[in-house]
Amino acid sequence: MPTVQAHDLSCAGRVVARYVWDPHLPATVSPRPYLHPVTTLGGLTVTGFMPADHLHHLGASIAVPVLNEANFWGGRTYVAGHGSVHLDNHGRQRHARWLHRSGDRLHQELDWLDRDGHALAHESRGLSAHHLDGTAWLLRVDFTLTSATGGTLTLDSPAARGRTGAGYGGFFWRAPDGDHRISAETGTGIDAVHGRAARWLSVEGGGWTLVFLTDTISPDPWFVRCDDYAGVCSALAWERLVVPAGGALTRRLSVLVADGTPTDEALTAAEEAHR
């Protein structure tokens, strides 16, 4: 089997995230680059990878349930009137070239291919690690999607196709199993956060905290689960999203990764680094 290609991101003198940019995975998980493990500065792992309940959850990754009828999420595809169905429509994200590659920053170009290997979209992706204080660091994620064919890009989620509440798709983070506390500027608990737009969202787990930061002007809704599993997604297509021909879809997100509860100084530094 070919060797998996990966790059380690470092912060404050230690590796804090492994970015697997050329994975070798089954087609049914919609192969794509992913971050796993991601750790706190103290060494606690804060991502889950291919858990038995959802084999297509790959740590932290950019994934879309349907883009121009190709499944870039993995698993089943939701079909209106039929529910979630196993279809032979899985795409994959393929590394094209590096524009920058160093210990704390990556800039990559990728192609989003359908099941037959035809390019549907091109992506420019940036990842960077920023030191905040002795207990926290920040992962910043920037990406831009454009059409590879010159036509429109249509992004769908099960929610957009009629499955209430299932608006996932975008930058998705599978957290480790356990007890979690969810909060955002809209309130505390799933009901106050799920499906709502908020500039920040916090997940507290066993000895660690993640604080997700997103667009300060027009944030996407959050998809959040913490009952059967822990997952957070800044949802691109809670409703169907169409990128017109010649247009581009651009997002910037950041994740503060802390041991325990982040300090006020770390939160302030995270906001500055996110800009």
- Domain boundaries defined on the chain: 5-274
Six token digits for residue 265: 């100084």
pLDDT band at 1, cuts 50/70/90? low
List phi, psi (to 5°) of 271: -60, -40
Q: Is 191 helix (H, G, I), strand (E, B) or coil?
A: helix
Our CA dihedral for 30, 159, 198, 104, rounded to 10 degrees, sits at 0
Q: Say if residues 238 and 201 touch (Cβ distance below 8 Å).
A: no
Count of C-beta atoms within a 10 Å radius of residue 81: 6
Is pLDDT of 176 > 80?
Answer: yes
**Which whole number is the average pLDDT over 144-160?**
97
How does pLDDT run across 212-258, given as a tens digit for each residue? 999 878 899 999 998 888 999 999 999 999 999 999 999 999 999 99
Res. 2: pLDDT tops 90: no
Which DSSP category does 45 fall into?
A: B
Q: In angstroms, rounded to a whole number, what is the distance separating the alpha carbons of residues 128 and 231?
A: 22
Looking at residue 173, its amino acid is: W
CATH architecture entry for 5-274: Distorted Sandwich (2.70)
pLDDT of 227? 82
pLDDT given at position 3: 74
Residue 149: how many other CB atoms lie within 10 Å: 12
The predicted-structure confidence for 43-52, as pLDDT tens digits, reads as follows 999 999 999 9
Work out the average pLDDT over 73-94. 96
The overall average pLDDT reported for the chain is 96
**Which residues are within 8 A (CB) of 224 and not within 5 positions of it... i.e. 6 or more apart?**
182, 190, 193, 194, 201, 231, 232, 233
pLDDT at res. 249: 97
